[in-house]
Structure 1
Amino acid sequence: MKTWVVGGAVRDALLGRPVHDRDWVVVGATPEQMLAQGYRAVGKDFPVFLHPDTHEEYALARTERKTAPGYHGFVFHAAPDVTLEDDLARRDLTINAIAQAPDGTLVDPHGGRQDLAARVLRHVGPAFVEDPVRILRLARFAARFHDFSVAPETMALMRQMVAAGEVDALVPERVWQELARGLMEDRPSRLLEVLRDCGALQRLLPEADRLWGVPQPPEHHPEVDTGAHLLLVLDAAAALGASLPARWACLCHDLGKGETPAADWPRHIAHEARSERLARQLSVRLKATGEATELALLVAREHTNIHRSPDFGAAAVVRLLERCDAFRRPQRFADALLACEADARGRAGLAERPYPARGLLLQALTEACSIDAAAVAARAQARGAQGPAIADAIRIARTDAVAAAL
């Protein structure tokens, strides 16, 4: 039995990046031998085991054969006669098909080190076309390694896969999982760029794909194109350290502009309501998390009002806080403000422009929360107020607090 570290751990070490987890491949062993040495079986579809001491994953070397469309349509073969080279040949990208022996020796049959040096994402072999998840994975790696290019022949294969309908077989949960990971990378714009270049964006996120070629007023959007704006917003969200729900909200915030009639361009009157509807449609279809979905709907509906809030009076600010449910869910509101700041900064040449709305609304929320709502309610009840009248009294007190502070 021989073992090698494989995949991401080897790749990241060669790139000088931190290595957090190591995966191992085992050649020349059977499941029974692994269990006899104290390993614990955890694999569902193929033999994967946890080391009894380190708890790192050890997978038996395996090959795979395509039997049906999609990424579930595979039969795996793991046996002592499967070689390390057999196992590496089934991997997605050359940079992920490098193995390292315990003595440090590297096994690199597909030129992964050369592609690391050249900063290229390249498929290992023709079997790449058999698994549509690899399109999403490559796009995610492009968002992480944003100075890497995609090999032309690999892009051509991905376009063939899209044309053949392979991405249509992907289940929503897996699409969401890969998109979520890609959005959390340093340059999430590249996730969408790669998916769009190969045609997968139109199949998986048609609501976003429609934004390209739609113009916006140049006085507010020097980049003009709505799709270009979306890419800038996603990268601005990453630069601000936004959470996944906030980045998903950024992706969804302007979807309604893709439905603006061309006769109305470059204006997009009432695009907020259309964006909210499409954000719900997309989030439900991909089975996004509840937190991400709720924030996307909120930002789609209110981002324009949040942008304009520095010009609001105290009463309008308090009404905005109430619509955003900021008093009950202040952290979600803070995420919404961060997404709106990314929207404001995601414009050509305006990445460093101040965004006073975020600080103003956070201060307004603090001031509005400083009143003793229970005491205000008690005084209103003492005057004979009931129901809506009590709520009005609290709103007036909050408005007065905001007005005094701002």
Structure 2
Amino acid sequence: MQIYLVGGAVRDRLLGLPVKDRDWVVVGASVEAMLKQGYKPVGKDFPVFLHPRSHEEYALARTERKTGKGYHGFAFHADESVTLEQDLARRDLTINAIAEDEQGRVIDPYHGQQDLRAGILRHVSPAFAEDPVRILRLARFAARFGFSVAPQTMQLMQNMVAAGEVDALVAERVWQEMAKALMEDNPSRFFLVLRECGALQRILPEIDALFGVPQRADYHPEIDTGDHVMRVIDMAASMQQPLAVRFAALTHDLGKALTPADVLPRHIGHEHHGEKPLLALCERLRVPAECRDLARITVLNHTKIHGTAQMKPATILRLFKDCDALRRPDRFRQMLCAVLTDARGRLHFEDCAYPQVEWMEEMLRAALEVDAGAIARNCDDPRQIPAQVEAARVAAITRARQALPSSAA
């Protein structure tokens, strides 16, 4: 029995990156032999075991055969005769098909180290085309490492899309891979790779529709809405924002693909036009409520934040209510972060001043400091309580606004 460290752990060590999870392959062993040594079985579809002490995963070397469409359409074969090279051959990319033995020697039958040095994502074998999840994974690795895609691999992915393979992807897996990609340093690469191979239009048509949509050059020197959105999500990544903010950044301008032609390229009304495609996307991919709800208030209200200086105190209070900011101030502050990425996700505006965030935070703080309970206790007519609370909040917002720089007054 020989044991090898495989996959991402070897790849990341060779790249000088921290190794987070370690996966092992066992060659020349049977299920019975693993059980006899105390390994605990956990695999449903193929033999995977937990080490009795480290609890890391050890899988028997295996081969696989395509039996149907999609992620689950495979039959696996594992026994003592399967070699390490055969096991590595079933992996997606050459950079993930590298192993290391117990003495630290690297086994690299498919030249993954060469592709690591060149910064190339290349499929190991034509079997790559048998699993559509590999398109998502490759795009995610592009976002993580900034690597380019080998021309032959891009052609293979385009053929997979044309054959309808990506249509078999389940919603949960698409969201899982997209969420991981959004948390990488260059999330735009994920979407751009998917667009190049044609998968973006099939998986995320709402995002794909933004490319080629023009915007006003005075506000958006990058012109193209899709280009703008890619800059916005990369800005969110550079600011190390959480997933919900990054998803809101990705979807904030969905309505620009639906704005009536007679108002292009100003996109008047794109805010309310964006709500329907956002909710459709979220329902289709089963996006978590936290991400969906933050994205929704961002879609509907981001331009209002841009226009803070022109808003009256009563209008600002109405905005707070529309966003449920008085009950959920932290979510409102997350929306402000998403709006900031929108302002700075423009060509030549990456470092622009954006005081609207600070202005809104100060006025929200003032509104939250109003003691509604004290007003209720001192009000003789209970019917007047809501109006008095509202008036007190408008007054507090007015005072806070007057204390801000003159540009906000």
One-letter amino acid of the counterpart of residue 33, structure 1? A
1:183 aligned partner: 182
How far is 1:365 from its partner? 1.6
1:254 aligned partner: 253
Provide structure 1 residue ranges, at least 5 long, that are not aligned to the other structure: none
Give the TM-score normalised by structure 2.
0.96
Q: Does the 8 A contact of 1:276 with 1:296 survive in 2?
A: no
1:100 aligned partner: 100
How far is 1:265 from its partner? 1.8
1:63 aligned partner: 63
1:274 aligned partner: 273
> Deviation digits for residues 259-295 of structure 1, max 9, x if unmatched?
1244432121111111111100101011111111111
Q: 1:16-95 counterparts in 2 under 5 A?
A: 16-95=16-95
Provide structure 2 residue ranges, at least 5 long, that are not aligned to the other structure: 402-409
2:238 aligned partner: 239
Q: Does 1:392 align with 2:387?
A: yes
How far is 1:330 from its partner? 1.7
Q: Measure, in 1, the Cα distance between the counterparts of 2:243 and 2:44.
A: 28
Q: Does the 8 A contact of 1:253 with 1:276 survive in 2?
A: no
How far is 1:346 from its partner? 0.5
* Farther-moved stretch of structure 1 (36-45 vs 2-11): 36-45
1:6 aligned partner: 6
1:110 aligned partner: 110
How far is 1:36 from its partner? 1.9
SS of the aligned residue for 1:304 comes to helix
SS of the aligned residue for 2:221 comes to coil
One-letter amino acid of the counterpart of residue 186, structure 1? D
Q: Does 1:230 align with 2:229?
A: yes
Q: 1:344-355 counterparts in 2 under 5 A?
A: 344-355=343-354
2:406 aligned partner: none
Q: Does the 8 A contact of 2:259 with 2:269 survive in 1?
A: no
RMSD, aligned CA: 1.1
Q: Measure, in 2, the Cα distance between the counterparts of 1:86 and 1:202.
A: 35
Query: What percentage of aligned pairs have identical amino acids?
Result: 58
SS of the aligned residue for 1:76 comes to strand
Q: Measure, in 2, the Cα distance between the counterparts of 1:329 and 1:402.
A: 17
How far is 1:145 from its partner? 0.5
Q: Does the 8 A contact of 1:310 with 1:356 survive in 2?
A: no
1:339 aligned partner: 338
Q: 1:141-220 counterparts in 2 under 5 A?
A: 141-146=141-146, 148-220=147-219
Q: Does the 8 A contact of 1:70 with 1:169 survive in 2?
A: yes
Q: Measure, in 2, the Cα distance between the counterparts of 1:310 and 1:40.
A: 63
SS of the aligned residue for 1:361 comes to helix
Q: Does the 8 A contact of 1:371 with 1:397 survive in 2?
A: yes
How far is 1:132 from its partner? 0.3
SS of the aligned residue for 2:212 comes to coil
Q: Measure, in 2, the Cα distance between the counterparts of 1:218 and 1:178.
A: 34
Q: Measure, in 2, the Cα distance between the counterparts of 1:289 and 1:360.
A: 30
* Structure 1 consecutive aligned stretches of length 4 or more whose deviation exceeds 6 Å: none
SS of the aligned residue for 2:88 comes to helix
Q: Measure, in 1, the Cα distance between the counterparts of 2:275 and 2:70.
A: 31
How far is 1:177 from its partner? 0.5
Q: Measure, in 2, the Cα distance between the counterparts of 1:291 and 1:241.
A: 18
1:315 aligned partner: 314
Q: Measure, in 2, the Cα distance between the counterparts of 1:263 and 1:368.
A: 39
One-letter amino acid of the counterpart of residue 36, structure 1? K
| Count of residues in Structure 1 that have an aligned counterpart in Structure 2 | 401
One-letter amino acid of the counterpart of residue 204, structure 2? L
Q: Measure, in 2, the Cα distance between the counterparts of 1:301 and 1:365.
A: 18
Give the TM-score normalised by structure 1.
0.97
2:15 aligned partner: 15
1:294 aligned partner: 293
SS of the aligned residue for 2:307 comes to helix
